[in-house]
Structure 1
Amino acid sequence: MSELTNFVAVCNEADINNDEVKEYNFDENNKILLIRQNDRIWAIGATCPHQGAPLVRGVLGRGRIRCIRHGACFNIRTGDIEDFPGLDSLPSYPVEIAGNGEVRVRARVKDLNKIRRTKEMVEYDQTDERIFLLVGGGVAAATCAETLRQEGYTGRIIILCREDILPYDRTPLTKVWQVDIEDIYFRDADFYEQNNIELMLGVEAIKLDSTMRTVSCSNEQMITYDKLFIATGSKPSKLNIPCADLRNVFSLRDYRDVQAIVHALKPKTNLIFVGGGFISLEFSSIVINKVKSVLVISSNKYPLADTFGYEIGERLLQLYREKGVQMKMESRVKEIINDDGLRIIEVRTVDGYKYPCDVLVIAVGAVPNTSWLIDSTLPLNSDGTIDTDMNLMTVEPNIYVGGDIANAPILPIANQRKNIKHFQMAQYHGYIAGINMAGPIQELRAVPLFNTTLFGTYFFHGGFGSVHEISIHGDLKRLKYVAYLFDRDGNTSYVTTCSYDATVANFCELLSQGKRLHRSEVVDKSNPHQWMDKLVDTRRNRCDC
């Protein structure tokens, strides 16, 4: 039986222009995306494998298409994933142009009725004595491991995972009530076994000797490595007041933390969050109807104002109060009161207010999990991060770092180093580190973007830089808007949107091309998004705000 179907005529060559994307039916069960660029026509899968968004609405860049929902990018020639989130690639389809201009496409039989494709991986070779050690059980290490096999590395791959469960996606933990751990695994156990990726679950790295190329582990084992990728993530910052270790006082970082908090919550619970960041706001929005009361205590005037700007922060404050969340702003916790030395009953703030409390969640930031490296020769910055070069290599030969601990180059600010604690950035780091550890050299072109969901409203945010001014287009009150945040020179540092809008994806694709967007390009209130027509390789996806 042939591995390929027969060719199917889907359109005429004249039906699709350069820099245009169109969706066609390959058969009654399969849709394909035709993309024409530089007078070549390519065919790939029509649906983003991350969460099923239609890519016909995506942003076409130079040789790739970006999903507008979460920003994943796919090569238009091969369908391979090149930026994240997500692990899987798109099917790609051979194309031929007939003499009469008819565009014909055929499919690999194994790709039919599938929206995702896992890139081919080389097999482990027992004669290859190299050991690549990946420290950390998050998305950076998981992506690095897969990339190593995809890039031709045939030696041993060992992942040290502090948690005793398979690597999983942490992003739903504060967005979905009682998520099932099996639903958020990146891959199942069979995948790691089939690709000879060794997982050491429940094992932490406790010491690095870069001279001897060894890592000592919490299970008293010492591993000698040839190359090392460190992606140990971050750990919750502590609240430096007495009684912060009482029963029913929690931090929120991993699956076990969430399970413990959910177990402690009852319909009569008075729940308090300390900290006004994403963890507190996301989790409070899904728990508000499951407990007696929810209070957020924050030292800021408005929630997330440092990220979205004061105007949007003020609207978020209003939203949370409308939804029944008590918001105690510009305040701090002074004292935690208990009744028996074990259980919390009350929280007092510095301005003298008292609040009943049965469960306290401390979410006041995170610090890099690098304390185990203090006595090593690997230099740590004062904040615990580690500097990298454009390839994610450190000053120590054959040691790479990524994710929350990396102080790495960021493209929008001329590749100055910054520490970005975003899921998408951690995954991109794992991908780039895997490529460079395997042999080919690929430099970072890091453009940060992230998303959050608050009370069912989707926020998408991309870019990086300082903020001096904000320009909001649309209806902020109805939470349907696009906002541009400018630095002092008028360059756009960030674009943020509410609802599934293509503007952020366009902006990130623009930044990935090494370009900038100036305030003068968006001041026209009648058409603030005209810059998409001449700065990005597409003429689609204007906002209809």
Structure 2
Amino acid sequence: MTQQLLCNVDDIQDGGMKEVEIDGNKILLVQECEQYYAVGGKCSHYGAPLANGSLCKGVVRCPWHGACFDVKTGDIEDFPGLDSLPTYQVVVKSGKIYLKDGGNLASTKRVKSMCRQNADNRKTFILIGGGPASVVCSETLRQEGFTGRIVIISKEPTLPYDRPKLSKAMDSKPEAIALRNEEFYKNYDIEIKKGHEVVSVDVKSKTVQLYDRKKLSFDSLFIATGGKPRSLPIKGVDLQNVFTLRTPADAKKIYEAAQGKHVVVIGSSFIGLEVASCLAGKVKSLSVVDMIQVPFQKILGQRIGQVFQKLHEDKGVKFHLNAGLEELKGREGVLTDVVLKDKTKLSADVCILGVGVVPGTGFLKGSGIELSDRGFVSVNQNLETNIKDVYAGGDIVEFPLFITPDNSKVNIQHWQMAHQHGRVGGRNMAGIKTDIKSVPYFWTVMYGKSVRYTGYGVGFDDVIIHGDLEAPKFAAFYTKGDNVVAVASLAYDPIVSQAAQLLTQGEQIKKSEIKDDPNTWTKRLSN
């Protein structure tokens, strides 16, 4: 095979990376400890150019959503996304770097090697919930050599899907956003019981009971049932055209019902405002109601909240903030108005409740599995509950977060973290002791503007912002005392991914480091 020139040796420094194009395909070339490695140049999640991300100690982190890949093996190490990167051999001759074996350069993804079920292995592992935690857990088990039976039980009628897309592209069809297709699960002997609900767990007999009274026995159990949309204890909440968003069917109903109509969104949460962004321009009027002063006030702070409020207002969205909700009014069972505490009446053909979620753990009450006062499952650093062989992950758990001063148990409802919980849970179920050590990372997109966020900023006492909020283009550092506890950015990549890398190494960004220059600390991302 003819070797193809990538670049000169002098074109890439030790600890550096370079995107090279071969026959229209992107390859990421990395020099690490005077060795050269080549992997696929696009993130396996949404195709972000990895050359624009962050490289540290042999790991490249995606600039968009924080997925991490080992540059030597191409394996995915943190999420979101399911697939690893293809790897290529390179050779150095006469001061030039050549691609030795291109393979299939057009392929940007690689599925890690997985085993299948073996009839001699009589063990059954049950995974409750049809989200990313269960999918990653099932794949991790097969990657780590578990040859027993794997059963995913999901109350939804569809295959597990990319839930974040529901509020950003509401007309998406379930099959178009499926995490894996039916054939994939069959190829690796992963059973998915769609449309089945677990109503109880008996940890003594190691059985789960389904809604139809059937029981399944397990040797090990992973629970990741996610959240249920919160409702409101107000009059009229059961009227027709009052919606919550959780499933593709919900998104489709909202999208179709809202066209050309008066729409009111209750709650300026990420879900609520992503829905508003998706519907703006397609409706007759669009109002957002919330009791807080500005959107995202508790998470992103007042000034950045105002940036997002203006983005929406520029698209015709009207905000009613510091406003309580009195009731929903209707005629003949159909919604007509939303009434606020101050008696303001908003015309409403459609109302979407975006007021958060509660953990879907009601079926665990009385099971002996420890739940917090708020209904979350308490787990240790291996994601094991107080019951041996019973694990849990995703939105329903409180787990020890290693970047907090005392490894405090927290609840993180991020798509990325649910994936990592699945990986850690799967490895521990397979007998490979693994601690959860992942830095929270999330993103939101509205009107083509994407904000990234990493860290754990609960209780921040100051926000230091660099950039231009009018543009908007900024990097925001959330501090508690002398330490930066979280970083957010818009059009300032890859600073959030760089922060996630540094925090993953167990290091701190000091407030003094970012007062005058947002980038000084990035020099510490060395190999």
TM-score by length of 1: 0.93
The equivalent position to 1:433 in structure 2, one of 414, 425, 431, is 425
Letter in 1 for 2:185: Y
Q: Show CA shifts across 1:308-365 (max 9, x none).
A: 111111222222222211100011211121222x111111111221111111111111
1:47-446 equivalence runs, <5 A: 47-98=42-93, 100=94, 102-107=96-101, 109=103, 111-267=104-260, 269-340=261-332, 342-414=333-405, 415-446=407-438
SS of match in other structure, 1:207: strand
- Mapped contact 2:281–2:315 kept (Cα < 8 A): no
The equivalent position to 1:528 in structure 2, one of 497, 518, 527, is 518
- Distance apart, 1:9 and its partner CA: 4.8
Distance 1:79 1:116 in 2: 9
Letter in 2 for 1:70: H
1:408-487 equivalence runs, <5 A: 408-414=399-405, 415-465=407-457, 466-487=459-480
State the identity as a percent.
37
Residue in structure 2 matched with residue 543 of structure 1 by the alignment: none
- Mapped contact 1:156–1:197 kept (Cα < 8 A): yes
Deviates more, 1:213-222 or 1:397-406: 213-222
Letter in 2 for 1:491: N
Letter in 2 for 1:371: G
Letter in 2 for 1:320: H
Letter in 2 for 1:398: D
Q: Show CA shifts across 1:186-232 (max 9, x none).
A: 01100011111001000011000011110001132211001111000
Distance 1:451 1:496 in 2: 9
- Distance apart, 1:62 and its partner CA: 1.8
Distance 2:311 2:252 in 1: 27
How many residues were matched structurally? 525
Residue in structure 2 matched with residue 45 of structure 1 by the alignment: 40
Distance 1:289 1:442, change over 3 A: same
Letter in 2 for 1:255: P
Distance 2:248 2:369 in 1: 30
Q: Show CA shifts across 1:215-263 (max 9, x none).
A: 0011322110011110000001110012211111111111111122123
- Mapped contact 1:409–1:446 kept (Cα < 8 A): no
- Distance apart, 1:381 and its partner CA: 0.3
Distance 2:118 2:26 in 1: 38
Letter in 2 for 1:359: V
- Mapped contact 1:411–1:511 kept (Cα < 8 A): no
TM-score by length of 2: 0.96
Q: Show CA shifts across 1:136-169 (max 9, x none).
A: 0011111111111111111111000110111101
Residue in structure 1 matched with residue 509 of structure 2 by the alignment: 517
Distance 2:24 2:388 in 1: 51
- Mapped contact 1:270–1:357 kept (Cα < 8 A): yes
Distance 1:500 1:310 in 2: 19
Deviates more, 1:494-503 or 1:513-522: 494-503
Distance 1:9 1:359, change over 3 A: closer
Distance 2:8 2:311 in 1: 50
Letter in 1 for 2:510: H
SS of match in other structure, 1:94: strand
Q: Show CA shifts across 1:475-534 (max 9, x none).
A: 1011111111111x121111111125111010001100000101100111xx3211101x
Letter in 2 for 1:493: V
Letter in 2 for 1:504: V
Letter in 1 for 2:367: S
- Mapped contact 2:478–2:486 kept (Cα < 8 A): yes
- Mapped contact 1:458–1:500 kept (Cα < 8 A): no
Distance 1:124 1:382 in 2: 39
Is the aligned partner of 1:19 residue 2:10? no
Residue in structure 1 matched with residue 28 of structure 2 by the alignment: 33
Residue in structure 2 matched with residue 542 of structure 1 by the alignment: none
Letter in 2 for 1:175: K
Residue in structure 2 matched with residue 492 of structure 1 by the alignment: 484
Q: Show CA shifts across 1:115-137 (max 9, x none).
A: 11111111211111110100000
Distance 2:62 2:375 in 1: 34
Letter in 2 for 1:63: G
- Mapped contact 2:263–2:287 kept (Cα < 8 A): yes
SS of match in other structure, 1:106: strand
- Distance apart, 1:367 and its partner CA: 0.5
Where does the alignment leave 5 or more consecutive residues of structure 1 unmatched? 539-545
Is the aligned partner of 1:10 residue 2:2? no
Letter in 2 for 1:363: G
Distance 1:214 1:521 in 2: 54
Deviates more, 1:310-319 or 1:361-370: 310-319
Distance 1:115 1:259 in 2: 31
Distance 1:362 1:132, change over 3 A: same
> CA RMSD of the aligned region, Å?
1.6
